[in-house]
Amino acid sequence: MSSVVVVGTQWGDEGKGKIVDLLTHYADYVVRFQGGNNAGHTLVVEGKKFVFHIIPSGILYREKKCMIGNGVIVDPGVLLQEMRDLGEQGLTVTPDRLMISERAHLIMPYHARLDQVKEAALSKNNKIGTTGRGIGPCYIDKVGRTGIKAGDLLDDALFRDKLTAAVEETNFLLTRKFNAEPVDLEEIYTIFQSYKEHLSPFLGGVSEELDKARKGGLNILFEGAQGTQLDIDHGTYPFVTSSNTIAGNACNGSGFGPAHIDSVVGILKAYTTRVGAGPFPTELFDDAGEKLQKKGHEFGATTGRRRRCGWFDGVVANDSVRLNGLTGLAITKLDVLSGHDTIKMATSYELHEETISAMPSNINQAASVSPVYESIAGWKEEIENVREYDDLPIQAKSYIRRIEDFTEVKANIVSVGPDRAQTMMLSNPFDK
Q: Give the 3-state DSSP-derived string for 237-298, with helices as H, strands as E and coil as C.
A: CCCCCCCCCCCCHHHHCCCCCHHHCCEEEEEEECCEEECCCCCCCCECCCHHHHHHHHHCCC
| 132: region left, alpha or beta (phi > 0 left; psi from -120 to 50 alpha) | left
Q: Are strands 41-45 and 48-52 parallel, antiparallel or unpaired?
A: antiparallel
Q: Give the HSE-up count for residue 147: Cα atoms under 13 Å, Cβ half-sphere.
A: 28
Q: Report the alpha-carbon distance of residue 415 to residue 334 in Å, rounded.
A: 6
Question: If you write DSSP's letter for every residue of 343-355 in order, what string do you get?
Answer: EEEEEEEEETTEE
* Catalytic choice (21, 25, 28, 41): 41
Distance CA 418, CA 79 (A): 24
Nearest to residue 310, comparing CAs of 247, 373, 264, 352? 373
Is-catalytic flag, 25? no
Length of the chain: 432
Q: Contacts from 122-127 at CB under 8 Å and sequence distance 24+?
A: 127/277
Q: 370-377 and 342-351: which strand pairing?
A: antiparallel
- For 291-369, strand residue ranges (E) read 308-310, 312-313, 328-332, 342-351, 354-356
13 carries an active-site annotation: yes
What DSSP character marks residue 200? G
- Catalytic choice (13, 152, 231, 319): 13
314 close to 275: Cβ distance less than 8 angstroms: no
| Active-site amino acid positions | 13, 41
